């Protein structure tokens, strides 16, 4: 059967076979990791799962941790786990490789983890802070906007043509 190479994941796909490289699993993203990174991943996942109710899911080449919105995600690489944490402030620490402004209220921090022993304070504290922040921001978003009130017919402003004819 004829085959083609998938543009996104570079895998050879037999024509006619169902292929969706955008749909993946945690296991698929972590199965080829070295043993040290497997252990680090397991500890990182266990730590985050202990924070409370959330959604943990794989998306393309990342594993997302989310409440109302993503508060951190992990990109498994060949020699490290790239952990991207969203906080409301910029951190200055040796573990943080890069800091970018993600939105008006969020700053993303890029951290590389190479061993299970690195998944401890202060990194776990930052993850907990990000988890709590995502809950606070979600509740603010719900209560921030008051319900809009319809304008009564008598209070509506006349359109420009009506205003212009009244001036003449």
Positions of E strands within the chain: 3-5, 12-14, 55-59, 62-66, 70-76, 81-87, 96-101, 107-113
In the chain the domains, ranked by start, together with CATH numbers, are 22-139 (3.30.1460)
Report DSSP state, residue 147: P
Written as tens digits, the pLDDT of the chain (168 aa) is 688 877 667 778 787 776 666 667 888 899 999 999 999 999 999 999 999 999 999 888 899 999 988 999 999 999 999 999 999 999 999 999 999 999 999 999 999 999 999 999 999 999 999 999 988 765 565 555 556 666 555 555 556 665 666 666
State phi, psi for 30 to the nearest 5 degrees: -110, -5
């Amino acid at each position: 059967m004829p085959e083609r190479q998938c543009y996104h994941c570079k895998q050879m796909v037999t024509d006619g076979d169902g292929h969706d490289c955008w749909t993946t699993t945690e296991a698929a993203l972590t199965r080829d990791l070295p043993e040290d990174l497997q252990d680090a991943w397991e500890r990182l996942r266990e730590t985050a799962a202990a924070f409370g109710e959330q959604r943990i899911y794989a998306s393309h080449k990342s594993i997302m941790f989310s409440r109302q919105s993503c508060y951190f995600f992990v990109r498994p690489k060949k020699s490290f786990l790239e952990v991207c944490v969203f906080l409301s402030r910029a951190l200055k620490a040796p573990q943080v490789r890069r800091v970018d402004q993600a939105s008006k209220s969020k700053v993303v921090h890029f951290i590389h983890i190479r061993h299970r022993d690195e998944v401890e304070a202060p990194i776990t504290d930052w993850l907990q802070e990000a988890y709590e922040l995502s809950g606070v921001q979600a509740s603010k978003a719900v209560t921030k906007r008051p319900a809009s009130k319809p304008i009564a017919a008598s209070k509506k402003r006349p359109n420009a043509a009506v205003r212009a004819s009244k001036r003449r």
